[in-house]
Structure 1
Amino acid sequence: MAGTVGSRAAGQPPFDLPLPLPFGDPAAPGPVNPLLPQHDPNPAPRAGELVRLQSKYVWTEDANFVHGVPMAASLSLEDYPTLEWLTITLQQQYDVISNIMVALSRHFNHLAGDLLQPLVDQLAGLQATLDNVARTVAPVVGGPVFHPLDPVARGAEFLAMQTAETALRTLDQIRDGLFITLRKMFDSPGTGNFGTPEGVERYRLLYATLPVPAIADVIHDDQVFARMRVAGPNPMVLRQVRDSLPANFPLDNRGYQSVMGPGDSLSAAISQSRLYLADYAELGPMASESATYKLLTGPGYNTAPMAAFAVPAGGGELQAVAIQCGQDPGRHVMFLRPDPGAADRYWGWQMAKTVVQVADFNHHEMFSHLARTHLVTEAFCVATRRHLGVNHPLNVLLTPHFEGSLFINELATYLILAPELTGDLILAAQLDDIIAGAGQARLGWDFYENMPPSEFSARGVDGAQLQYPYRDDALLIWTTIHDWADGYIRTYYQSDGDVRDDFELTAWADEIAGTGKVKGFRRIDTSEQLADVVAMIIFTASAQHAAVNFPQKTVMEYPPFSAGIASAPPPSDLTGNTEPDWVRMLPPLLTAIAQLYTLDSLGSVLYRPLGDYRTNHPPFPNAFDDPRIVGPGGPLEQFRSALQAVEATINDRNSGRDPYTYLLPSRIPTSTNI
């Protein structure tokens, strides 16, 4: 990671961290006494500090390639991660990079051996450095007697920072060297897939020291494919068909009954609210009808398919019905889910499912994940830094939910959106279209319309007839977070008048709606509205991000099941397709390696679960010390107890369904810190 602290200009690598690494400020104060600004008896220093912060946190709409989206122009020292986070992430990075190099050396040695050997030697020496990081960090992050003003403790932290930075720089050099080596391997003619082995096996062989994801054993399972719409990485696309299907999706009753049986009908499924559609038209230019070509990955395809799903007439899990591989029925035939014995249509159906999975991957990464969790949260974080005093009750509450967010956004937007880096390698569209798509998704996201109860209702997926694990667990979490936000807020705001008189809150809301460009946001007039707002910010930064982030490792990193690029166009014939035709759609191994590295990295780091409210400064004391909040039976205790109850409820649900674990409170980080 090279660059300068504070630099966020597009085209510049994000980090060149000085010694010592700025992972926390040991002299920073502990918990503050929360006060609304209109009640603060000493307003001048508070106002002066906000002026200073507004010069420190400046908006830009040209940060790290995300053009037109308001973000922080630079990072400050307190925006960098803790030593705890760094040690976890360093070990994960070592594991995934080591796995890739071992796999290449073991299975593709005819190309990789000589090129990789210097990196293999460098990686072997890094493990000793990581062990040293663990030894030096432990007294800082876990020492019971650590005090930030103790010279011995400060020296220990300084040593830990130096050791961590050494490991970080070495690891970055190895990672950069690995991808340079991969590009050299692709300079040889005919090495797009490094030669043999062929078929799906070449993707399994990339898992040399890491386990092959369990999803690899069910990549063609129709029930798994349908379940992805309600319990997968991107459970935000499915919509109920209300009245009739779109004119450009000509599924008729005969076709419907060929899949769902003569005891059901298309009209009955619609009238009984059992028919659903996943339509990827929103992808726009990211889903070109023609091939794109990139030097490192060759031709790539991604269209905007439409896929119909139905709940059987007698109830049960969602079933796949039909797929059209693009928006124009004149160009794309309708694939109907075949009976198990219909061998002539089996591989055409598998190819059509791959088209849907590629579109869903693109929609997930740029829209549901990057734009609608990371970039949305950034706007609230920057406005909070600029307009809520450090002792404002909402600043005290929200700061732990922003922990690491600006840092990870800086890193993610650079590594994903810079030319010839991971997004360019993993996704089919040209980079300009990818960046534009993410920006439009962020700016088009409406704050109030996306509150879970409203969002589910708008898509028509709030009915009990649809088994929908994401919805059911998300509503549990939403209610729990909302109760916590309401209890916290009413501790400090005794009336709606207190809300309206809070001039820092007013400035905060105005900036989020204006400079921050959060669609639908507006001034806040009541305690009830404020509870909704705070709950939504917390939910988006924690639970919503967890729901779309952690399936990247378990579901999305294995390309035969989920990929962002197809290497061949969608099928055009219902019959006559073969397994080799399907295999030709799978991405090249350079894409697969970039996908494995990126998604394993993003899906492996679980840090500070929901309800963990600590500061970022050793020895990491609690963020709250107001007895009205932390006292026995107070709002925080109630929140943590409610989270334990939610955990038990979800575990109980999982005993009677295919397990959905991404919204277990113990697996939801408090912030978007990865």
Structure 2
Amino acid sequence: MSDDKIEELRALINAPTPQSDSAATQRSARFISTPQCYAGFDLFGLIEDGGPPLGLGGVENEVAPYPYVSLPQYDNATLDDRQQALVQAKLDNVFDYAKLRGAVVHGNVRCDDVQNAKDWRYRGGLEEQEYNFNVDDADADFVGVRLFEGTIAYLGKNFVAIVLSQNIAQKFLDLLAVVYSSVADNNFERISIEIIDPILLTFPNRKCNSVEELDFYPDFCPSHPEYDARIKQWPKAPYDNDFRSDDLVGWLMTAAPTPVFNYLKPFTDHMKNFPMTNDKFKRVPGFEADDLDQAMAEGRLFILDFKDFQEETVAARNWDNFGARLHAGIALFALPTNSNTLKTVAIQPTQHPIGNSFWDGIGWTLANIFGYGGNTQPPSKIVTPADNYWAWQMAKNAITTMTSMAAVVDHLSTHVYLGPIPVAYFRNIPNQHPLRALLDTHLMALVTNNHTGIFEVGAPLVGPDIVYNNPYNGLLTGAIQRLSGFSSVTFVNATVRRKDQYHFFEQSTPFDRMNDPSFAQIGDYPQHDDNRLMPIIKEWVDGYLRLYYHSDQDVTNDTELQAFLYETTHDGRVRGFPDEARSIEELVDIVSRIVYWMSVNHGFTSLASFMKLGALGFYRDHPIEPTHPYSERDWLNVCPPMNVGAGLFFFSRIFTDLPEDWHRSLGKYPKGQFKHDPNVYPLLDVFQSQLQSLDNEIRDKNADRRWAYDLRMPSTITVSPWN
């Protein structure tokens, strides 16, 4: 890039010169803005100094404390006020059945109830008694994970390779023009985070030439004084150095990317569409002396079958998704004799095996020449570790890519499933009700995040404009359209379909794998073994509610509570949600499950960010031939192109990481949340202490594991679906 082009770049973004004392320089404590990280080449530092403050951290505002809380049947002082407030609440908060087919959404995100619930709000001062786990959620200088920072860091790390790409100078200017124009008016009441197109514009649309180019995690200068603070916000996957390990795929099944991801099942019968043979099984290293049927009889075989996604994977794709596909694959896992470590033994990338007839052979030959195209029954062969090394690596990518997409579908579908709960809640529970102080924080941002993620980017959250637009062009759904093997229509339909499979009680009842003889044989199953949160949540909720409900009659006579439960079930159509509570015990159970759904069941690991395995698209239209002499180049070709990989990586950070441990995590409440009732604080202290102890226990356990698993750690679980 010439000096003239650098000057043009500076002029375009109004960047300060190295000697400038401008406000942009003064306000910036941005990490990679110091020349020492680039050995004197400060262009990227200059860009960061003038960069837009786009990041995850959220806003914290002060509001008045809650009024004196009481049940409606005992409110003699403010009953008229709370009844009038509920009349208005029912006008403001409405169930809408038409915006997204098959889902119930909030029909008025501009109302005060929704607007007041979208930010972290402290009540009455920052000196209040809530323990903050040594993390200040009100830090004005903390803007969270800086997505733009990571983009520039990757550009700097691979500058030589990227700069050789065609028209790179113009592409980089296009990036800055798009990014800066999106925030130039400083109108932060408008959703204007456009991150995908700038990245796709900037980086070359070519396949990566090495594993290093697939590593989109920023590399910062370790000597920088803020290194520790910055690098911890870009945590690498614990398996980053071991992604080739065959054991990793099996571990991902026991350390699932979402809490509701339970696709692994015991393999108890042979499958017609998965013709695994004993010969194939015995060729797998470690199973030479084993027997397939004996392993099945002993409960040592497990199957991962994505048949539920078959229709989505063969549905019409969009034309601008850079060639990505997804395959509804099948994978077989096994425990060797005298071992409790799950091994990956076979993968069939699609649901349809190749047959033995003459015409099957002709079809296989044509598919290898021309690709699958629009074939709704794409054939494939079973691949094992005993086959060509790179064929096996490609097969693993095919199954982990589907694992990643299934997790994304799971995650967003919980948003859609839970969406009606705050509608019914705001309609029926006034500020004077004790549930408000307990549940407001757990419902924070659910409505606005559903609106932003599913509905059109750029649609205002306030003002007179149309509130809802195209549900297939939201921040998430629009990105899926560009970056994955699904169209946005396919993706949204998949989330709505998956949402209909949830049950309020079933998916919030922790699974005890030790009740199943097959699962009990697996040595470590962190998804289930680490999930000890429900009893802790239940103790906290029980203590809190008994401050206000002194008998079962108090529960049955609480008309506001009963209306909330009834509307959630019948108007919100939340499957499995109870339409009434008749005892304190029932109420504690219901409220505990609401907290569990909004926090524990909202977790999401970083697999979708791991482009070596977790990309949302598999970039190969042809079958994998187990014996073909593939090369690493062939494997790199199934990974996403550089610009798409970057887009997927940086975009997925919005959904997978807290800015740091204990930042608005489970157990955190804004300062002053319970100022109205000091009796809450001893209970809160116990709750937070138990969470801290569990978190420490899981950290100790992770230290002895091959790969750490943080999805069940309280410190990394969001207190609500705010991200």
Kindly tell me: are residues 279 and 237 of structure 1, through their superposed partners in 2, closer, same or farther at Cα, counting changes over 3 Å?
farther
Q: Quick one: which amino acid aligns to residue 360 of structure 1?
A: T
Higher helix fraction (1 or 2): 1
Residue equivalent to 1:73: 107
Residue equivalent to 1:108: 162
Residue equivalent to 1:250: 275
Rounded to whole Å, the distance in 1 between the matches of 2:622 and 2:687 is: 49
Q: Quick one: which amino acid aligns to residue 244 of structure 1?
A: D
Rounded to whole Å, the distance in 1 between the matches of 2:561 and 2:278 is: 55
Q: Quick one: which amino acid aligns to residue 450 of structure 1?
A: Q
**Aligned: 1:626 with 2:670:** no
TM-score (norm. length: structure 1): 0.77
**Structure 1: unaligned runs, 5 residues or longer:** 1-21, 130-163, 615-619
The aligned runs of 1:236-247 (5 Å cut-off) are: 236-241=261-266, 243-247=268-272
Q: Quick one: which amino acid aligns to residue 444 of structure 1?
A: Q
Task: Tell me by how many angstroms 1:447 deviates.
Answer: 1.1
**Aligned: 1:270 with 2:296:** yes
Rounded to whole Å, the distance in 2 between the matches of 1:258 and 1:181 is: 44
* Alignment match of 1:93 (pick from 147, 169, 181): 147
Residue equivalent to 1:47: 83
Q: Quick one: which amino acid aligns to residue 344 of structure 2?
A: A
**Aligned: 1:337 with 2:373:** no
Rounded to whole Å, the distance in 2 between the matches of 1:24 and 1:51 is: 29
* Alignment match of 1:418 (pick from 439, 451, 473): 473
Rounded to whole Å, the distance in 2 between the matches of 1:169 and 1:386 is: 24
Rounded to whole Å, the distance in 2 between the matches of 1:238 and 1:559 is: 22
Rounded to whole Å, the distance in 1 between the matches of 2:626 and 2:674 is: 60
User: Does the Cα contact within 8 Å between 1:305 and 1:355 map onto a contact in 2?
Assistant: yes
* Alignment match of 1:377 (pick from 402, 418, 422): 418
Rounded to whole Å, the distance in 2 between the matches of 1:225 and 1:575 is: 21
**Aligned: 1:500 with 2:556:** yes
Rounded to whole Å, the distance in 2 between the matches of 1:624 and 1:454 is: 36
Residue equivalent to 1:612: 668
Task: Tell me by how many angstroms 1:222 deviates.
Answer: 0.8
Rounded to whole Å, the distance in 1 between the matches of 2:150 and 2:97 is: 33
Q: Quick one: which amino acid aligns to residue 643 of structure 1?
A: L
Kindly tell me: are residues 266 and 623 of structure 1, through their superposed partners in 2, closer, same or farther at Cα, counting changes over 3 Å?
farther
Rounded to whole Å, the distance in 2 between the matches of 1:394 and 1:385 is: 11
TM-score (norm. length: structure 2): 0.72
Task: Tell me by how many angstroms 1:227 deviates.
Answer: 0.9
Task: Tell me by how many angstroms 1:124 deviates.
Answer: 10
* Alignment match of 1:439 (pick from 477, 481, 496): 496
3-state SS, counterpart of residue 323 of structure 1? strand
Task: Tell me by how many angstroms 1:568 deviates.
Answer: 0.9
Task: Tell me by how many angstroms 1:172 deviates.
Answer: 4.6
The aligned runs of 1:466-615 (5 Å cut-off) are: 466-474=523-531, 476-523=532-579, 524-546=581-603, 548=604, 551-552=605-606, 555-569=607-621, 571-579=623-631, 580-606=633-659, 607-614=663-670
Q: Quick one: which amino acid aligns to residue 356 of structure 1?
A: I
Rounded to whole Å, the distance in 2 between the matches of 1:456 and 1:379 is: 31
Task: Tell me by how many angstroms 1:498 deviates.
Answer: 2.6
Kindly tell me: are residues 652 and 202 of structure 1, through their superposed partners in 2, closer, same or farther at Cα, counting changes over 3 Å?
closer
Q: Deviations over 1:160-211 (max 9, x none)?
A: xxxx9838599958x46x725845x79xxxx631x7x634343237856587
Kindly tell me: are residues 413 and 97 of structure 1, through their superposed partners in 2, closer, same or farther at Cα, counting changes over 3 Å?
farther
Rounded to whole Å, the distance in 1 between the matches of 2:638 and 2:438 is: 48
Task: Tell me by how many angstroms 1:89 deviates.
Answer: 4.3
3-state SS, counterpart of residue 662 of structure 1? coil
Rounded to whole Å, the distance in 1 between the matches of 2:429 and 2:198 is: 45
Q: Percent identity among equivalent residues? A: 22
Residue equivalent to 1:669: 718
User: Does the Cα contact within 8 Å between 1:102 and 1:208 map onto a contact in 2?
Assistant: no
Kindly tell me: are residues 276 and 293 of structure 1, through their superposed partners in 2, closer, same or farther at Cα, counting changes over 3 Å?
same
Task: Tell me by how many angstroms 1:410 deviates.
Answer: 2.3
**Aligned: 1:362 with 2:413:** no
Kindly tell me: are residues 378 and 124 of structure 1, through their superposed partners in 2, closer, same or farther at Cα, counting changes over 3 Å?
closer
Kindly tell me: are residues 100 and 120 of structure 1, through their superposed partners in 2, closer, same or farther at Cα, counting changes over 3 Å?
farther
**Aligned: 1:653 with 2:701:** yes
* Alignment match of 1:179 (pick from 170, 173, 197): 197
Rounded to whole Å, the distance in 1 between the matches of 2:585 and 2:517 is: 25
Q: Deviations over 1:435-491 (max 9, x none)?
A: 1111111122111111233586899886364521111112x1122112222222333
Q: Quick one: which amino acid aligns to residue 256 of structure 1?
A: F
Kindly tell me: are residues 329 and 115 of structure 1, through their superposed partners in 2, closer, same or farther at Cα, counting changes over 3 Å?
closer
RMSD between superposed Cα atoms in Å: 3.5
Task: Tell me by how many angstroms 1:117 deviates.
Answer: 3.2
3-state SS, counterpart of residue 294 of structure 1? coil
Q: Quick one: which amino acid aligns to residue 495 of structure 2?
A: A
Kindly tell me: are residues 181 and 645 of structure 1, through their superposed partners in 2, closer, same or farther at Cα, counting changes over 3 Å?
closer
Q: Quick one: which amino acid aligns to residue 404 of structure 2?
A: F
Kindly tell me: are residues 354 and 181 of structure 1, through their superposed partners in 2, closer, same or farther at Cα, counting changes over 3 Å?
closer
* Alignment match of 2:95 (pick from 59, 62, 65): 59
Task: Tell me by how many angstroms 1:38 deviates.
Answer: 2.4
Rounded to whole Å, the distance in 1 between the matches of 2:292 and 2:528 is: 25
**Structure 2: unaligned runs, 5 residues or longer:** 1-57, 122-137, 221-230, 355-377, 458-470
3-state SS, counterpart of residue 547 of structure 2? helix
Residue equivalent to 1:427: 484
Rounded to whole Å, the distance in 1 between the matches of 2:626 and 2:635 is: 13
Rounded to whole Å, the distance in 2 between the matches of 1:560 and 1:418 is: 27
User: Does the Cα contact within 8 Å between 1:101 and 1:120 map onto a contact in 2?
Assistant: no
Question: Which stretch shows the higher mean deviation, 101-110 or 484-493?
Answer: 101-110
Rounded to whole Å, the distance in 1 between the matches of 2:549 and 2:190 is: 50
How many pairs align? 583
User: Does the Cα contact within 8 Å between 2:347 and 2:383 map onto a contact in 1?
Assistant: yes
Q: Quick one: which amino acid aligns to residue 277 of structure 1?
A: I
3-state SS, counterpart of residue 492 of structure 1? coil
User: Does the Cα contact within 8 Å between 2:253 and 2:264 map onto a contact in 1?
Assistant: no
